[in-house]
Amino acid sequence: MRKYFTIAKLKTQVELSHRANVFAYIGGNMLDFFVQVIIWTAIFSSVDIVGGYTKPEMITYVVVGWIFMYLSTNYGYEEYIKKDIHEGKLSGYLIKPVNYLSYISFHSIGRLLFAFSVILAQALFFIVFFRQTLIFSLSPAGFAMFILMFIFSYAIKFSLAIIIGFISFWAADINGLYFALNILNRFLSGAFFPIAFLPPLFAKISYFFPFIYTYFLPIQFYLGKNSLTEGMLIIAGQLAWIVALYLIIKFIWKRGLMKFEGTGI
């Protein structure tokens, strides 16, 4: 286990030496955030409630949702896995005394740690700036559950990234698939706007995908629109998706290795 923690530590040190890339990425994320705040502020300038949300609830949805989303992002590990496969680097990992899935998992944690600290600093700024509007309603038990939802949300997103990355065993380019899944993710997760704003049919469809468990449902819980019991059901749903995605990953990994070893890509 120590070797995997060493991998995470080394990756954090690498990220510290490439700070400009992370800051540029985060700068784009901040622009995305302020655009949403400006749009919703303009909408609420003429109405008090939109789709069952008051202005404080919607601003909280955007602020907490932004923090939740970017703290749980996987930072493009689909591309990282693709390069390992197409450039033949995977062969080196297969002969080493490490499990590749464990390796990239701890590698991602190391990459996340630096971004995590930067985003937390941004989050503190947003919380102070919007402190008069934000809703703080979670009990200690509710806050602990919310943190657990964040951890499981990261696990779901990273599992999806691994699955897309493993498609590289058969596909020369996964960028189109990654882009399409990212748009679908933001739409069905509630990142663009709350799922409650969708037509009933699309809202029901969203519950058949894991995306809703990575944004909308946790933020609904934070806003107090779900009880602790309902929060436990959200966590159970996240766990179910993590198990299902893990089984899919193992299946694709075994099939992919047969392709990899058979063709020598």
Residue 33: the pLDDT is: 78
Domain ranges of the chain: 2-263
**Each residue of 187-229: pLDDT tens digit?**
889 988 899 888 888 888 888 899 999 999 999 999 999 899 9
CB 71 within 8 A of CB 116: yes
Q: How high is the pLDDT of residue 5?
A: 45
Q: Does position 66 have pLDDT exceeding 80, yes or no?
A: yes
DSSP result, 234-251:
HHHHHHHHHHHHHHHHHH
Structure tokens at 164: 């897309």
The distance from CA 194 to its chain's CA centroid, rounded to whole angstroms, is 17
Nearest to 196 by CA among 175, 180, 229, 220: 220
Phi, psi of 49 (to 5 degrees): -135, 135
- Predicted TM-score (pTM) of this structure: 0.83
Extract the runs of DSSP E, i.e. beta strands, from the chain. Answer: 49-50, 53-54
Across 155-165, b (16+ Cβ under 10 Å) vs e yields: bbbbbbbbbbb
- Give the residue-averaged pLDDT of 109-134: 75
